[in-house]
């Protein structure tokens, strides 16, 4: 699945994966930046809480985004695939300047939304400038290759990760969330063993990647993002490893980024400071 084509004269909206457990009350810097990006006092946001089985998830984010200054916030919960064909809901989504996927279970997102008019519309809207964010399971869902589930641990092993098709806003990276808190390095590395073209992004809790139309990733939040670049991998023992055994991987590049740092997904260069955007543009 390739990302939707950006129409001539327009630019893609931001893609914003969040590592889960983002601060919502005392210092909601990530959610506040999302609202500002969507227009601040003119922001029109649609929340999709499909990943969650908690009935108040949508209404909670409605309240949060409204308190952060958004002009209009609507939670649209798609409980069945039939819901995804409802004309009124699709028309409401088409009016939004921001789409937000909540946390929960990413397989609920793929099995309910995958291949429906809702998924196609989100892809089209993002290509036309609508900013699209997701937290926890919602973050994993944003990319083409999605980590469905897997085992904890720092070492990649054959069979420790299961992949599924995601929403497909981009094919440049694979997301894992709650990264440091749940010891998920091994499963991200295992995913990259299958897809060395992609960049692995391991997002800590209360940490987000704001990825602009120029493919520059900027870090926001209190934790870190572990960037694993397998583009220049020298050796992978994936094809010669038995199930349950560790995979030998040589030549990986790893960056640890914190707030203010950035990574250019096109040139695959990392930058530490606030002038990163100009540095990145100068290097392309």
Q: What does the domain layout of the chain look like in residue ranges?
A: 15-154+162-231+250-283
* DSSP conformational letter for 190: H
Per-residue pLDDT of the chain (284 residues; tens, 9 = 90+): 668 899 999 999 999 999 999 999 999 999 999 999 999 999 999 999 999 999 999 999 999 999 999 999 999 999 999 999 999 999 999 999 999 999 999 999 999 999 999 999 999 999 999 999 999 999 999 999 999 999 999 999 999 999 999 999 999 999 999 999 999 999 999 999 999 999 999 999 999 999 999 999 999 999 999 999 999 999 999 999 999 999 999 999 999 999 999 999 999 999 997 555 555 455 55
Structure tokens at 11: 């630019």
136 classed as catalytic: yes
SS3 content of the chain, % helix, strand, coil (to 5): 30, 25, 45
According to the model, what pLDDT value does residue 3 have?
Answer: 85
Q: Give the span between the Cα atoms of 32 and 10, in whole angstroms.
A: 25
Buried b (16+ CB within 10 A) or exposed e, 141-152: bbbbbbbbebee
**Beta bridge mates, 48:** 101
- Tokens 């088409």 sit at which residue? 94
According to the model, what pLDDT value does residue 143 have?
Answer: 97
236 classed as catalytic: no
Cα torsion at 268, 230, 126, 119 (round to 10°)? 180
According to the model, what pLDDT value does residue 279 have?
Answer: 53
Catalytic residue (one of 62, 131, 140, 178): 178
Whole-model pTM?
0.95
205 classed as catalytic: yes
According to the model, what pLDDT value does residue 66 have?
Answer: 98
According to the model, what pLDDT value does residue 33 have?
Answer: 98
Q: How far is CA 136 from CA 22, 47, 70, 184, 201, in A?
A: 9, 14, 22, 13, 13
Any residues with CB less than 8 A from the CB of 99 and at least 6 apart, and which? 45, 46, 48, 93, 122, 125, 126, 130, 131, 132, 133
Catalytic residue (one of 136, 140, 143, 198): 136
**Best CA proximity match to 46, nearest among 113, 134, 128, 110:** 134
Cα torsion at 187, 57, 117, 199 (round to 10°)? -20
Residue 81 — φ and ψ, nearest 5°?
Answer: -65, -30
According to the model, what pLDDT value does residue 12 have?
Answer: 98
Structure tokens at 232: 């220049």
Structure tokens at 12: 């893609």
**Best CA proximity match to 265, nearest among 14, 68, 58:** 14
Catalytic residue (one of 205, 218, 220, 262): 205
Task: Give domain 15-154+162-231+250-283's CATH number out of 3.30.230.10, 3.40.50.300, 3.40.50.880, 3.40.50.720.
Answer: 3.40.50.880
């Amino acid at each position: 699945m390739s990302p939707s084509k950006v129409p001539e004269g327009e630019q893609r909206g931001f893609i914003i994966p969040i590592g889960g457990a983002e601060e919502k009350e005392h210092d909601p810097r990530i959610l506040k930046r999302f609202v500002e990006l969507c227009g601040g006092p003119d922001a029109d946001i649609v929340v999709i809480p499909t990943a969650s089985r908690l009935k108040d998830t949508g209404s909670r984010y409605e309240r949060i985004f409204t308190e952060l200054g958004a002009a209009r916030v609507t939670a649209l919960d798609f409980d069945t695939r039939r819901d995804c064909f409802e004309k009124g809901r699709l028309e409401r989504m088409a009016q939004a300047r921001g789409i937000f996927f909540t946390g929960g279970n990413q397989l609920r997102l793929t099995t309910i939304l995958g291949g429906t008019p809702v998924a196609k519309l989100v892809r089209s809207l993002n290509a036309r400038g609508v900013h699209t964010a997701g937290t926890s399971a919602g973050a994993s869902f944003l990319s083409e290759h999605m980590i469905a589930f897997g085992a904890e641990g720092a070492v990649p092993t054959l069979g420790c990760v299961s992949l599924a098709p995601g929403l497909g806003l981009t094919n440049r990276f694979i997301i894992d969330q709650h990264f440091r808190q749940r010891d998920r390095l091994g499963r991200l590395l295992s995913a990259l063993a299958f897809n060395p073209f992609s960049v692995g992004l391991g997002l800590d809790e209360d940490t987000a990647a704001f990825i602009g139309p120029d493919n520059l990733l900027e870090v926001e939040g209190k934790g870190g993002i572990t960037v694993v670049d397998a583009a220049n991998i020298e050796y992978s023992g994936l094809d010669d490893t038995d199930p349950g055994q560790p995979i030998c991987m040589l030549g990986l590049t790893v960056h640890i980024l914190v707030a203010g740092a950035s990574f250019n997904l096109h040139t695959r260069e990392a930058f530490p400071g606030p002038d990163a955007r100009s540095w990145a543009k100068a290097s392309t």
